[in-house]
A = this chain, B = another copy of it.
Amino acid sequence: MESIVTATYAVHFNEIAYLQLNEHLAESSYSKIFVLVDENTHASCLPTFMSQVAVANYEIIEIVSGEENKTIDTCTGVWEALSELEADRKSLLINLGGGVVTDLGGFVASCFKRGIAFINVPTTLLAMVDASVGGKTGVDLGPLKNQIGVINQPEMVLIIPSFLKTLAERQLQSGFAEMLKHGLIQKKNYWEVLKLISSFDAIDDLIYDSVVIKNKVVLQDPTEKNLRKILNFGHTLGHAVESYFLESENHETLLHGEAIAIGMILEAYLSHKLSGLSELELIDIKTTFLRRYNKVDFSSEDIKIILGLLKFDKKNSHGNINFVLLNKIGLPTIDEQIPDNLYAEAFAYYKE
């Protein structure tokens, strides 16, 4: 597979990924190499990965998996480990894991001694198609997702789809939601193809297409002034739902993709009401997501708290909550405001 070139680095796939990494390591004179993993990628991915990497010495730093550990405290632990292991400014951090490891590891590297080099090796479908392009690094602040972070680019990103074999079906479905989103906001054909997928066994080409779509958007608007905002479709309400479920004691935590699938149904409804999305396409969107993701039960109290969290959304400014809506599948519109009464209607439509 041909490598995808972003603004400042390349995304390499499969065997080319290992070749490029080894060439980079041979060319760069890193003083030390650190690999950040969680307990899952430590066991399932690290042995395979390191067997292909030509380095004599490296240090492993392990964090505990899970969104609830995507915190500043975890960063402090990694910073202390790096100090303890005598990392210096010429050290390299390789982040081998899902979005928590790559987002947090990217932030840790960006701030350690005011910035060391890092390479991301996403091992979940979500991280491959979502976190591999765009330079967003960061951690959560209490219930607020990705509230603390910086924009900074890795040296390279390596995508090795065979790591997906280590994932549970639910994890794969979560990542697939972001791929479906890429279809909804940019390419109706791609949406139609994805709808038909029932097995994740041979989706290398579809992962590639998703990275190409996201990269095309980010290249046109690296600092998220305009076009790039379309990547947030489903995320305004989706993030609030995800945050609420993460903190709530009455609900099981939702995976990111499961939460934004709900967000996309809700925001498709708002699109139908406000920006011309046809009823046919609205039904198509709702049916497609509900076929893959179990319907979640929201009480009116839940909805009230979720709507309260909206005001912390990073896309807000001057007190406005800004939404991405669809005119039709493949054609999004940004900076849309929502009349207050429509939120309850959207949740009612989801529930019906």
Query: Digit string of A111-152 for contact with B (CB within 8 Å is 1, else 0)?
Result: 111110000000000000000000010100110101111110
- Size category of the A interface is 35 or more
Q: Is A314 an interface residue (CB 8 A)?
A: yes
Interface residues of A in 273-289 (CB under 8 A from B): none
Asked if A115 contacts B151 (CB within 8 A), the reply is yes
Asked if B318 contacts A150 (CB within 8 A), the reply is no
Given A72-B76, A90-B317, A110-B150 contact (CB < 8 Å): yes
Given A31-B319, A314-B89, A317-B89, A111-B76 contact (CB < 8 Å): no
Asked if B114 contacts A79 (CB within 8 A), the reply is no
Task: Give bound CA distance, A86 to B35, whole Å.
Answer: 36
Asked if A83 contacts B312 (CB within 8 A), the reply is yes
Least CB distance from A55 to B in Å reads 15
Asked if A79 contacts B318 (CB within 8 A), the reply is no
- Which chain B residues lie closer than 8 Å to A147 at the CB level? 79, 83, 112-113
Q: Is A216 an interface residue (CB 8 A)?
A: no
Asked if A149 contacts B111 (CB within 8 A), the reply is yes
Asked if A79 contacts B150 (CB within 8 A), the reply is no
Task: Give bound CA distance, A351 to B146, whole Å.
Answer: 51
Least CB distance from A320 to B in Å reads 9
Q: Is A316 an interface residue (CB 8 A)?
A: yes
Number of copies: 2
Name A148's contact: one of B111, B141, B311 (CB within 8 Å). Answer: B111
Q: Is A88 an interface residue (CB 8 A)?
A: yes
- Which chain B residues lie closer than 8 Å to A31 at the CB level? 317-319
Task: Give bound CA distance, A31 to B318, whole Å.
Answer: 5
Q: Is A80 an interface residue (CB 8 A)?
A: yes
Least CB distance from A352 to B in Å reads 33
- Which chain B residues lie closer than 8 Å to A107 at the CB level? 111
Task: Give bound CA distance, A115 to B137, whole Å.
Answer: 11
Task: Give bound CA distance, A79 to B79, whole Å.
Answer: 19
Task: Give bound CA distance, A148 to B110, whole Å.
Answer: 9
Least CB distance from A210 to B in Å reads 22
Task: Give bound CA distance, A111 to B107, whole Å.
Answer: 9
Interface residues of A in 1-52 (CB under 8 A from B): 29, 31
Which residue on chain B has the smallest CB distance to residue A148? B111
Asked if A138 contacts B114 (CB within 8 A), the reply is yes
Asked if B312 contacts A150 (CB within 8 A), the reply is no
Name A115's contact: one of B86, B142, B150, B315 (CB within 8 Å). Answer: B150
Given A89-B314, A319-B31, A148-B80 contact (CB < 8 Å): no
A-B pairs with lowest CB-CB distance, top 4: A90-B317, A31-B318, A113-B314, A114-B149
Hey, which bits of chain A sit against chain B, CB under 8 A?
A: 29, 31, 72, 75-76, 79-80, 83, 86, 88-90, 107, 110-115, 136, 138, 141-142, 144, 146-151, 311-312, 314-319
15 residue pairs of the A-B complex, CB under 8 angstroms, read: A29-B318, A31-B317, A31-B319, A72-B75, A83-B141, A88-B317, A88-B318, A89-B317, A111-B138, A112-B148, A113-B147, A113-B314, A114-B138, A114-B146, A114-B149
In the complex, besides A86-B319, A113-B147, 19 extra interface pairs with C-beta distance below 8 angstroms are A29-B318, A72-B76, A76-B141, A80-B141, A80-B142, A83-B147, A83-B312, A88-B316, A88-B318, A88-B319, A89-B314, A107-B111, A111-B149, A113-B314, A114-B146, A114-B150, A115-B150, A115-B151, A150-B150
